Amino acid sequence: DHHFTLLCSSVSFPVLPSLHYTCTSLSLSLSLLLSRTQEDMKEDHHGHHHQRKLRDILSNSRSKPTAYIILLILTYALGYFSAPSKSSLSDNTTHLTVSTAAGTVASSTTPTNSNNCPTAADDHKQFGRRCSAKVRPNRVRQKIVERVFNGTSPYDNFPPAHLARLIRPKRVKGWGSYGAVFENLIKKVRPKVIIEVGTFLGASAIHMAELTRRFGLDTQILCLDDFRGWPGFRDKVNYTPMLNGDVLLLPQFLQNVIYFNATASILPVPFSTGSGLEKLCEWGVLAELIEVDAGHDFHSAWADINRAHKLLRPGGVLFGHDYFTSYDNRGVRRAVDLFARVNGFKIKVDGQHWVIDSS
């Protein structure tokens, strides 16, 4: 009884006060039980040694049922009151409100762990640090050539002999690559740098290069793509050759750019969209106009749009294709809509393209 009382008095119950009350009550009940058995012991066993009395208490047939009941109640009470209650669960949440220059636009409740740190659900909205100091537009091309191609243009001495017989003089393939949105945005934004996220064989990049020349602009277009295609793409583009597992999209892209005399305007950045966008941010390569047209599932589009937004110069425009595609339960549209809602932007539609103007 003494040890049980010390246990109840020494333990703090800031979250479960009812457990402390139950513990104290059981301690009193146990004290009464022991007092009763000690009185019975005195009546039945006068003159015996104190240690013998304790053994008699444990063997006393009248005390056993009561002791068992007390232990059963104690076990049940500890299990019941130590379980987290609804109120304690609600205390372990953090209410997040997203605020932008446009005002408060979204609110959510995010679970937190015992250290009051945001869980993985909150990580879904985190996309790293600010980008490095901006590279001047007229230095962007040299920056990419140095960092990506070891200082040598990828067009130099192209094509090598072993590829010449495998690529065609011109093999341009795209989807939505000649929509009015390109001319509308280039005429409006008059960009010095364009970043295209997802380029395939360069159809839309070549079209944009022709438009910038028509409008008298000196524009550098960076085409970010791993040039590996996607699973099953050769079923749709069955004339693409393969050499040692390489589908040769990058060599054909380079040849297309050469054919249309756009080598001074277009440079490939042959990385995955995620790592490529992060590196451009690290290098300070920003753009006034960014097209996002790579992965069409929600998670890919969501990540690409958020990473691309970090590279957008003030007043720039984000846009992309397949706003109405049904793939992944309209994954592109869900990603675009969520991004606009979280950041307080409005979405405009131009044909099959979505447009977000940050100005």
Task: Give the model's pLDDT for residue 58.
Answer: 44
Cα–Cα distance measured from residue 309 to residue 281, given in angstroms and rounded to the nearest whole number: 10
Task: Give the model's pLDDT for residue 296.
Answer: 87
Does residue 23 have a pLDDT over 80?
Answer: no
**Residue 135 half-sphere exposure toward CB, CA atoms < 13 A:** 20
pLDDT tens for residues 214-263? 999 999 999 999 998 766 666 666 666 777 877 789 999 999 999 999 99
Confidence of residue 15 (pLDDT cuts 50, 70, 90): very low
Cα–Cα distance measured from residue 196 to residue 293, given in angstroms and rounded to the nearest whole number: 8
Average pLDDT, the chain: 78
Cα–Cα distance measured from residue 229 to residue 238, given in angstroms and rounded to the nearest whole number: 12
CA nearest neighbour of 178 among 152, 223, 210? 210
Task: Give the model's pLDDT for residue 87.
Answer: 45
pLDDT tens for residues 89-115? 444 433 333 333 333 333 334 444 555
Confidence of residue 116 (pLDDT cuts 50, 70, 90): low
Are 336 and 301 within 8 A, CB to CB? yes
Tokens of 38: 């000690």
Task: Give the model's pLDDT for residue 330.
Answer: 92
Cα–Cα distance measured from residue 124 to residue 127, given in angstroms and rounded to the nearest whole number: 8
Name the helix (H) or strand (E) containing 348: strand 348-350
Task: Give the model's pLDDT for residue 6.
Answer: 46
Tokens of 351: 């044909």
Could you tell me the CA-to-CA distances from 137 to 196, 229, 286 in Å, in that order?
Answer: 16, 29, 8
pLDDT tens for residues 71-84? 666 666 666 555 55
**DSSP letters for 221-281:** EEEE--S---TTGGGTSTT---BTTB--HHHHHHHHHHHTT-TTTEEEE-S-HHHHHHHHH
pLDDT tens for residues 228-239? 876 666 666 666
Domain residue limits, the chain: 2-87, 92-123, 137-357
CATH topology of domain 137-357: Rossmann fold (3.40.50)
Task: Give the model's pLDDT for residue 178.
Answer: 83
For the ranges 108-112, 278-282, 339-343, the lowest mean pLDDT is seen at 108-112
